[in-house]
Structure formats: C-alpha cells, structure tokens
Chains A and B, each alone.
Chain A
Amino acid sequence: MNIELLVKMANEISEFFASESPPARAAEDVAQHLRSFWEPRMRRQIIAHVRATGGAGLSELARHGIESLAAAEPEPV
C-alpha cells in the first residue's frame, strides 16, 4: 500500500492521542488503535517502514507507537 498514506494516517492518529492520553500511555494507545483497526498487511508495512527508515515522515509519537506495536507483532519471515 502507499506508504505515504499510511504515514499520514499514523501521524493523524498520533495527533489525537498526543493530547488525549497521558504521555506515558500515548504510544501504547496509538499501538492499540493500530492493532484494533488496521489490517495486518497495513501494520506490517508501517512496521517495515520504521525498521527500514527509522520512521521517515512519522511524528515522534507515531514512531513510538509503531515501535510499541512492532514489539508485540511477530517478525516478518
């Protein structure tokens, strides 16, 4: 899928949780949102993007959220 679009979507999700969630929980809330609503191939792609680029284009919270997500997701084979 178009990675630019996924990055944009992840950033927008993070913008919401940046203000809604306490700082200590915000990254996990982002991860949980992605886990709940993103289809696995979308999650795999954004995780791969973070692993490959260090999170180019992602906000800091979005990157942390995806790293938190990645920690609980199986490594791609």
Chain B
Amino acid sequence: MFAIDYHDHGTPAPAAAGAPVTLEIDGQAISVPAGTSLMRAAALAGIAVPKLCATDTLNAFGSCRLCLVEIEGRKGYPASCTTLAEAGMKVHTQSQNLSRLRRGVIELYVSDHPLECATCAADGHCELQSMAAQVGVTESAYAPGAVHRPLEVDRSNPYFQFDPQLCIVCSRCVRACDDIQGTFALTVQGRGFDSKIVASQAQPFLQSECVSCGACVESCPTAALSEKSLTVGRPRTHAVTTTCAYCGVGCSLTAEVGGTSDAPQVVRMVPNRTGHANHGHACVKGRFAYGYAVHPDRQLKPLIRAHITDPWQEVSWEAAIAHAAREIRRIQARYGRDAVGGITSSRCTNEETFLVQKLVRAAFGTNNVDTCARVCHSPTGYGLKSTLGESAGTQAFTSVTEADVILVIGANPTDGHPVFASQMKRRLRQGAKLIVIDPRAIGLVRSPHIEADLHLQLRPGTNVAVLNALAHVIVTEGLTREPYVAERCEQPSYQRWKAFVSEARNAPEALAEVTGVAPELVRRAARLYATGGNGAIYYGLGVTEHSQGSTAVMALANLAMATGNLGREGVGVNPLRGQNNVQGSCDMGSFPHEFSGYRHVSDPQVRGLFEQAWGVSLDPEPGLRIPNMFEAALDGTFRGMYVQGEDFVQSDPDTHHVTSAMAAMECVIVQDLFLNETAKFAHVFLPGSSFLEKDGTFTNAERRISRIRRVMPPRAGYADWEVTMLLARALGYPMDYHHPSEIMDEIARLTPTFTAVSYEKLDRLGSIQWPCNEAAPEGTPTMHVGQFVRGKGRFFTTEYVPTSERVNGRFPLILTTGRILSQYNVGAQTRRTDNVVWHAEDVLEIHPHDAEARGIADGDWVGLTSRTGETVLRAQVSERIAPGVVYTTFHFPQTQANVVTTENSDWATNCPEYKVTAVQVVRITQAEAWRTRAAQERSAARPRDAAHA
C-alpha cells in the first residue's frame, strides 16, 4: 500500500504532455494535457474514480473493470484508466448503472477474500476495503464456493510477507517488478481460478530473484504483500518526508511514524512518489534497512579515556566536550597549531559538514580538514573542474531517459545505485544501446531484458589506456564533432589532445596487450558512442580509485567534449557518487585546499569574505589530506583529530599503516553512531545522531539538494551539528545557530552556487539542483548549456602510466574491490539490519581456472595475501571476473579487506588505488589459525611505521 499521506492519481502523467484539452467530468470543467487518462483527469479535479488495478506509478492495465465511466455520445462503459481525455468530452463517473457494475465486480472479489478487516495489517488503508465501502458491499452475495484458502503465508523475506489469501491478482506487483524495478522476478502463474502470483520458479521470495526493493509491496492494494512492521496495533499517526541516508541517488522517502509523541517510532519507510530523484522507487537499503537507528549497539553516552588501551569511562556531555577541547588546545600549545585537524562525513548533512570545516578552519585555526570523499570521488572534483570548470556531474538522473548510447565504466549501478539503475534499465528496454567497460561482468552486462551491446572486460588499472584507445578511434576515423568543439572548446588544448591520441601507440591494437580488450570491441564501442545519438557516460569508483583516477576522469570529459556530448539532456559525464552526501560534503568546503563552492584558500578575495563572516584570520595555505594526516601522525607532527561520521580504520587502504598512525595520536575524537573500528583508537567518543534524528539537507549525485527532516529526537540528546557547536564553544569560538536552516542561510551568503537556496524554497519546490542563484533561481538540472562553466572546455593529454602495483610470481592475481546491493560501505548500518540474510560475510570471487589451479572449490576458505597484509575469507567460484582477477567487498570488519590494499594513490588527489592490488590466493583448512596469525601480524607495525610510532 502506498504512503498514508499520498493521493494516487490512478495513472501516470503522460510522458510527452500535449496541448491542454478541456473536458467536463461530473459537470466540472477541467483542462489537462493531451494524453491524460480520464481517471487521472478526474483525480486532478478531486473526483476519485473507483479502481483496483490502477496506480499512478504504473501504466494503465484495464483489468479490474471498476473504473468504468459513461461518456456522453458514446456507447458502453469504457475504463477510465485506458481512455484518454479529449476536448469537449462529457464524462460521468457516477450513475445507477455504474454502481451496479462496480458492485458486481466487488462482490466477486469479496467472494474470495477474507473479511477479517479489523485484524488485517492494511485495515484502514486497504484499497479493496475502501472500494467495497464506496459501492456499499459488506459481504459476498455469492453462495459459498471454492476459495483460495487456507494457503501458506510466505514469510521468508525478513521485511515483508506474501499472503496469497489476500491477493486479488490485480497484477500490480508483477508490473511494478517489471516496469519500475526491472527485475522481472514475479509473474502470474496459471489461468482463471488457478491464477496466482509467484516469485521466480514458484520459490519463496527469499530464494527467488527478488531484490527486495519493495516496489511490489508499495503497489499492492491489499495486505497480500505487506511489511512485517505493519503488525496490527502499530498505528501510523503521521508521515514525514525525508531523504535516504545510503547511496548517492538520494531517494526521497516517507517515514510513517507511530508510537507516542514522547517516543515516536518509524513503523515503515516508503518511497516518496513525488520524489525528484527516485520518482516513487526505493531499494532494499533505503526502504527497509533503517533499523540500525534503534539498534542496541548505538552508543548513547559520551566516553573518554586517557589511553587507547584504557577502558572507556562514561561521562556527561559537558565533561566530554570540555576534555576534548582541552586536549585540542594542549596539543596545539605543545606541537603547534597545525598538529590537529578534522574529518567531515559524507553521511552527515551539508550543514554539519559545513560546520565541521568551519570549526577546523576558524576555531582550530588550520586548514587540516578533509572528508571521506578523499577516498572515493576526489578525482571527480579535480578532473571535471579542470576540464569543464565545475566539480560535479553534468546532468539530472532523468536525463538518462533521453540517452541513446549509455556508457557505464567502473560502476555497478544495479548494486551500488539501484534506484537509478532501474531508471537506466527502463531506457535500455526502450532500445538505448549499452557499453559496459568493467573488469567484471556486472549485472547490467546481462540480466532480464537487458544485454550490453559491448562489454569491454579490461584488466584492472588500464582505464586510461582503454579511454585513449576509444579517443584514438574517434579522432582517426573522423568521428569528432568539429563545429561543437570549435565553438565551445580551447583549440590549442584540443589540437594537442588530437595529436596525442592519434599516435599509433594509442591505437586499440597497440594497447590490446596492456588492456586485455580485443581491438575490434574498442573500435565498435568508439563508433557507437560517437555516432549513436545522445551519448551519456556514467562512472563510479572503478574510474576514480586508481593511481590515474583524475586522468581517467579527464579522459572521459575529453571524449564527451570531442563528440559534443555535453550541455543538453541525454548526454553528459555523470559520476555515480557512493555515499548519500559525497557531492554535498565536497561542495561545503571539506577539502583542505578550498572553501565551499570549490574556491581555493589562497584566493585573498574569497578568504577575505570568509574572514569577515567568521571574524577570524584564515590560513592561506592548503592543509593536510587524510593520507597526509596519517603520514604526519607517524612523523609526530600531527597529534589530534576530530572525526565526524567516518570509519577510516575499516574503509581506508593499507590498514596496518592507518592503525599505526592512529595509535601514534594523542587525542582522537570520534563522533559516530557506533563504537566503530576507528573508535578503537579514540580517546573521546561523542554519540552521533542518525538521519532520523535531525534536520538538514543532503546533496545527491545530480547536485540535488533535498531536505532530511527530524522524525524523532536525537537519541543521545544532540544532533551532530549541535555537538560541533558545543565543541566550538568550548574552544572559545561560539557558534550560535538555532536550526540548520540558519546554517544553510550562511552557506548561501558565502557560496555563489548556493545564493538562492533556502529551506523555504526547498520546502516549496521539493528539491533544488545547484547552481541555484540569481541566474538560476530554481536550480540547474543540466550544466554547461551553451558554454562550459570555465568558459571554453579544456582538453587534457592523458598519457597512460601503468600503476606501480604489478603482478609477479609471488602475487600473480589482481584484486579489485566493490560493493553489493544489500550492504553499504563499511556495513556499520546495514550489518545491523536484516540485510545480513543476503550477505553475511565478504567473499572472494575467483575465476574457475584460477580456482582449479589452486585446488579451490566454491565455499572453501582461502587466504588472500598482498605485499601489505593478508586476510581470510570464503571463495566464490565465478565467471563474472576474468582469469587473473579476483574480487571482493569490504563490508565486514572480520574480513578487513583493506588489510591487503596498498598505499598507492591517485597522482592528483591521493584518492587510494583500491581497485588494483597484486595478490596471491591459497586454499586453507585452518581458517581461524590464519585469521589469528594475520591479526597478530596486523597489530605488529611494519618497520616504516614502527620507526615513527
């Protein structure tokens, strides 16, 4: 059932709205765009036509026969869901005949439906119940006959259940799975009375292909598919529209809240059908996996300790804050102002990240502030700023509906960004072409009704070589769009780039040995992207997390500029951001070299603006990046840090190195929901607040600023932004905000791309894509229209430089890492939900050839060893990866996959090279012994680290 505060219009708005047509419904004149159904037109006029098989997220189906209407001058009773409005029509939705027909339909439904409504989870929100009431049916008029009960309820899925006894086989769930989610897991099996909804091959939902997105549950008109949380006796009193705290899609969600006013509880979370990023869809994480907010592992009291080997001591907020402030000042007095720093989080709001960087710059007096975006999309910022002039993706998500050729490189949208992937798959089913460039056969390569036209299964670490080869073909075969480039790009840089990529050494044939990709595939991909119509590039961490991450981003921008694929709908260069607020944390000035809006700290005019607003002198020099902080900690020149919402001991590469650095610090202040891996090295723990406990905004991958709204009070007493204010005050730099809206007002005053953003406008419009200023008061869905932000687009020469991480006889395989659908990053949130039923541990995917050569069978324990460390996990023999490559995720601290990743990083931004690690894999029998030995070795610092520890 859809959200309690939602009014369904029955059918979607027409995809291509025509000129307005005026008609009359029940004597009321109404104008609607041509292509609008009568049902929708009536709904827009406030007239609810009875319906069961229709809902406005699905195309009209016309099966339930409840929505019949009469049209003057026409025979019969057409279904209003499938009949389009025409000028001059006179429509009647109520008459004696219509009532009789509808009553007959409902009586048939009711004859095979349990009528114990009072004990049903959908009571009060069931559409069948509502329709029966509308037509005055309270019981079946038919003599008892065959019925679909008793039938077993499928409770296999942890979040929802399927009760076939309550099913009216309206097919909304099947169509939702097909049309909205694109998984095609459900079907109507059998015919006539035997018709029933089944998952996959009539399997329990949990064992089926179902991905638990919840689209079927949301579309079900009864309680046949319903959330388990909707047990009887848990009424929902109100709904709060907020934004998902998981991936960079930033889905708008509606929290339905029950409980008491003193102790509100989220009863269920449903996708917001008017949400601009997700359009009424969600995934298994956002839709269901919010229980971590009330998990008993939440640490709700502040803690302090003198040494990381001491037990924690529970203290008051006042004591913890005072202790933290004293320590910061003590370290600065002893080691210098720049011996401390802070980390903002992409899991926190824009307002909170803005405050943390303000705290560090203004109260600590240093630019040693960085953010977790350092380890994911910092090359996006550098690469797109250099080439196009702005550190952000160029399009809205809806742009994909206009794309003709979709190029996905180094991203796995169906797992990492599932709601956008569903939108992309809809476009692919309409006929758009698909090029996948990835070492692994990601879900998009082949899934129901989707097949990539080309899959370039390159060797990890060779993105730039492949992109140069694509450019070589485009240039040497004359496929560039010269008038576009001549008008919009810098000619000298273009000519240099053309000459470079034209060199024979950049031909697909010359690079095939390096990339492992057949030259003909590269040539076909280049031709398709350059000549196939609107070409849209989508990329992820498989592009950025390399030693040439920034170079690869520039190479993508080069391709888009050369082919004229920027500055309009359907094209663009689109980073798929990992965490919900990666874009926002970067926008807010979290990087050590720039203020909000990506302006360098050395610019005296910009710095003066902030100095005036903040009342302090600011440092004109760039501060330390996260990896630099670790180095400086080992060097003894960096001794204290404030970490808000980041767990880099688990997430950052080369764990030995990170933990040695953390152990060398004198005061680490961790602010988080849980005592995470980083907290093991902390001296002060400040309880964090989940997205349900505060107000603020997130900015998603399409630059869309969306509100999060407080559903319940902060469980530990303070929202994160309030904790930062407490610390600032204790440091003698009082901040005086009474609500996050006031912080946003300050951001708007100080940031040219945000000058027209306000909470009032966000509430009014629903969301805003920046830039939002005088030139674009309601935001900017598509960037670089007419001209690039930097003026003329600049091409960069992108020489391929192989990573220094090479395979050899000792480490003959390449490990690459990624994520899966049900878990999220370090898993701190999703591991504390029932999502573990799908993925309870990290596994190592290994090709059958490599497995056989090592005597490894599916499910065996294997030891994974690199130059930096080793770990133990189970093998999953799979042809999704090529021979010579292995793959794993990093969701579980027990595995700690980053023990084996290296300190290599992107040349421009120090974004770690997670995607290429030379490893060896061996079958082991004593997993625990291996794990223990690995843990012991992990705790023993290596010579370089030990020298400084």
Contact present for B338 and A41 (CB under 8 Å): yes
A33 with B631: in contact, given A19-B500, A39-B621, A39-B623 (CB under 8 Å)?
no
A18 with B628: in contact, given A12-B907, A33-B908, A36-B602 (CB under 8 Å)?
no
A9 within 8 A of B: yes
Contact present for B628 and A39 (CB under 8 Å): yes
Chain A residues, CB < 8 A from B625: 37, 39
Chain B residues, CB < 8 A from A20: 796-799
Contact present for A38 and B631 (CB under 8 Å): no
Query: What are 5 contact pairs spanning A and B, CB under 8 A?
Result: A2-B634, A2-B944, A15-B907, A39-B625, A41-B338
- The residue from A15, A19, A41 contacting B632, defined by CB atoms under 8 A apart: A41
In the complex, what's the smallest C-beta–C-beta distance from B59 to chain A, in angstroms?
50
Contact present for B338 and A16 (CB under 8 Å): no
Contact present for B797 and A19 (CB under 8 Å): yes
Name the interface residues of A1-25: CB closer than 8 Å to any CB of B.
1-2, 5, 8-9, 12-13, 15-16, 18-20
B residues with CB within 8 A of A: 338, 367-368, 500, 547, 551, 592-593, 600, 602, 621-625, 628, 631-632, 634-635, 637, 796-799, 801, 804, 903, 905, 907-910, 944
- The residue from B796, B799, B910, B944 contacting A15, defined by CB atoms under 8 A apart: B799
Determine the distance from Cα of A40 to Cα of B337 in the docked complex, in whole angstroms.
13
- The residue from A9, A13, A36 contacting B622, defined by CB atoms under 8 A apart: A36
Contact present for A39 and B622 (CB under 8 Å): yes
Contact present for A1 and B907 (CB under 8 Å): no
Residue of A nearest to B804 (CB): A8
Chain A residues, CB < 8 A from B600: 36
Chain A residues, CB < 8 A from B621: 39-40
Determine the distance from Cα of A20 to Cα of B632 in the docked complex, in whole angstroms.
31
Most buried by B among A15, A18, A37: A37
Contact present for A36 and B593 (CB under 8 Å): yes
Residue of A nearest to B629 (CB): A39
Chain A residues, CB < 8 A from B547: 12
Interface size class of chain A, counting residues whose CB lies under 8 Å from the partner chain? 20 to 34
In the complex, what's the smallest C-beta–C-beta distance from B897 to chain A, in angstroms?
22
Contact present for A39 and B624 (CB under 8 Å): yes
In the complex, what's the smallest C-beta–C-beta distance from A34 to chain B, in angstroms?
10
Chain A residues, CB < 8 A from B907: 9, 12-13, 15-16
A2 with B631: in contact, given A13-B907, A36-B602, A39-B592 (CB under 8 Å)?
yes
In the complex, what's the smallest C-beta–C-beta distance from A57 to chain B, in angstroms?
13
A37 with B622: in contact, given A9-B907, A16-B799 (CB under 8 Å)?
yes
Determine the distance from Cα of A9 to Cα of B410 in the docked complex, in whole angstroms.
24
Residue of A nearest to B796 (CB): A20
Chain B residues, CB < 8 A from A19: 500, 797-799
Main secondary structure of the interface of B (DSSP, over half): loop
Determine the distance from Cα of A38 to Cα of B628 in the docked complex, in whole angstroms.
9
Chain A residues, CB < 8 A from B368: 39
Determine the distance from Cα of A41 to Cα of B909 in the docked complex, in whole angstroms.
17
- The residue from B500, B628, B634, B908 contacting A13, defined by CB atoms under 8 A apart: B908
Ranked 8 nearest A-B pairs via Cβ? A19-B799, A12-B907, A1-B631, A20-B797, A39-B624, A19-B797, A1-B635, A15-B801
Chain A residues, CB < 8 A from B903: 5
Determine the distance from Cα of A12 to Cα of B908 in the docked complex, in whole angstroms.
8
Chain A residues, CB < 8 A from B796: 20
Determine the distance from Cα of A37 to Cα of B624 in the docked complex, in whole angstroms.
9
- The residue from B623, B624, B908, B910 contacting A16, defined by CB atoms under 8 A apart: B908
Chain A residues, CB < 8 A from B635: 1-2
Determine the distance from Cα of A22 to Cα of B875 in the docked complex, in whole angstroms.
49
Q: A15-B799, A37-B909 are in contact. List 9 more A-B contacts (CB 8 A).
A: A9-B905, A9-B907, A13-B907, A20-B796, A33-B908, A36-B600, A37-B622, A37-B908, A39-B628
Determine the distance from Cα of A15 to Cα of B464 in the docked complex, in whole angstroms.
14
Chain A residues, CB < 8 A from B908: 13, 16, 33, 37
Contact present for A18 and B631 (CB under 8 Å): no
Determine the distance from Cα of A38 to Cα of B602 in the docked complex, in whole angstroms.
12
In the complex, what's the smallest C-beta–C-beta distance from B721 to chain A, in angstroms?
27
In the complex, what's the smallest C-beta–C-beta distance from B380 to chain A, in angstroms?
15
Chain A residues, CB < 8 A from B905: 9
Chain B residues, CB < 8 A from A41: 338, 632, 637
Chain B residues, CB < 8 A from A48: none
Residue of B nearest to A4 (CB): B944
Determine the distance from Cα of A1 to Cα of B593 in the docked complex, in whole angstroms.
19
Determine the distance from Cα of A35 to Cα of B621 in the docked complex, in whole angstroms.
8
In the complex, what's the smallest C-beta–C-beta distance from B620 to chain A, in angstroms?
10
Q: Mark A24-46, 1 if CB is under 8 A from B, else 0.
A: 00000000010111111110000
Chain B residues, CB < 8 A from A35: 602
Chain B residues, CB < 8 A from A33: 908
Determine the distance from Cα of A6 to Cα of B706 in the docked complex, in whole angstroms.
40
In the complex, what's the smallest C-beta–C-beta distance from A22 to chain B, in angstroms?
8
Chain A residues, CB < 8 A from B801: 12, 15-16
In the complex, what's the smallest C-beta–C-beta distance from B477 to chain A, in angstroms?
23
In the complex, what's the smallest C-beta–C-beta distance from B937 to chain A, in angstroms?
21
Determine the distance from Cα of A67 to Cα of B501 in the docked complex, in whole angstroms.
31
Chain B residues, CB < 8 A from A36: 593, 600, 602, 622
Determine the distance from Cα of A33 to Cα of B592 in the docked complex, in whole angstroms.
14
Determine the distance from Cα of A5 to Cα of B804 in the docked complex, in whole angstroms.
13
Residue of B nearest to A12 (CB): B907
In the complex, what's the smallest C-beta–C-beta distance from A43 to chain B, in angstroms?
9
Chain B residues, CB < 8 A from A12: 547, 801, 907
Most buried by A among B623, B799, B903: B799
- The residue from A2, A18, A42 contacting B799, defined by CB atoms under 8 A apart: A18
Determine the distance from Cα of A16 to Cα of B367 in the docked complex, in whole angstroms.
26
Determine the distance from Cα of A2 to Cα of B797 in the docked complex, in whole angstroms.
30
Determine the distance from Cα of A75 to Cα of B329 in the docked complex, in whole angstroms.
29
Contact present for B593 and A37 (CB under 8 Å): yes
Determine the distance from Cα of A2 to Cα of B654 in the docked complex, in whole angstroms.
15
In the complex, what's the smallest C-beta–C-beta distance from B916 to chain A, in angstroms?
14
Chain A residues, CB < 8 A from B798: 19-20
In the complex, what's the smallest C-beta–C-beta distance from A16 to chain B, in angstroms?
6
Determine the distance from Cα of A9 to Cα of B622 in the docked complex, in whole angstroms.
17
Residue of B nearest to A22 (CB): B496
Determine the distance from Cα of A8 to Cα of B367 in the docked complex, in whole angstroms.
24
Name the interface residues of A29-77: CB closer than 8 Å to any CB of B.
33, 35-42
Most buried by B among A8, A18, A19, A36: A19
In the complex, what's the smallest C-beta–C-beta distance from B727 to chain A, in angstroms?
23
